[in-house]
Amino acid sequence: MNCELGEQTGGGLLWQDPLCRVVLIDEPGYPGFCRVIWKKHIKEMTDLAEHERGRLLAIVLGVESVLRDLLQPDKINLASLGNLTPHLHWHVIPRFSDDPHFPYPVWAAARRAPRRGNPPGWHAVLAAALAARLDGPSQAGTLSQQKT
């Protein structure tokens, strides 16, 4: 079976561990649009063991937290759809009142032209912030508690 997210990175690689990777999507009008992708080909959250679900959600929430701190968006959208690409992944999308679709979903018809994109040097800034958050000591403590 050909799987786009299993065979390709799926965006600009920001962070990874043995189970997941976080990538930056270059989508005009959506600075900070990230995807958290489970590396092994899995279709649904319930296909994961309980501790794996906890790990994946901790990463998704870590990405959300970093994006909120750095970008201060009006809202964050979290979505796990996978209808076209049945490989477990989450979209973490900072939303701004002037983005092309606000207040509607990013998959709706655009209401205005994109006004912003990823700032220059953003990839490195975001990668460093994610490494600090996801590899930090507070994250390690949380993960060891989940396995017991």
Which sequence spans correspond to the domains of the chain?
4-147
The pLDDT, as a whole number, for residue 145 is 37
- Mean pLDDT of all residues in the chain? 86
Rounded Cα–Cα distance for residues 22 and 112 (Å): 28
Q: What angle do CA 52, 56, 57 make, to 5 degrees?
A: 115
Q: Which superfamily is assigned to 4-147 in CATH? A: HIT-like (3.30.428.10)
pLDDT band at residue 32 using 50, 70 and 90 as cut-offs? very high
Q: What is the pLDDT of residue 141?
A: 38
- Quick one: tokens of 8? 């390709």
Per-residue pLDDT for 118 more than 70? Answer: yes
Phi-psi region of 29 (alpha: psi -120 to 50; beta: other; left: phi over 0): left
pTM of the model: 0.86
User: For residue 41, what pLDDT is reported?
Assistant: 87
Which pLDDT value is given to residue 62? 97
In 3-state terms the chain splits into helix, strand, coil percentages (rounded to 5) of: 35, 20, 45
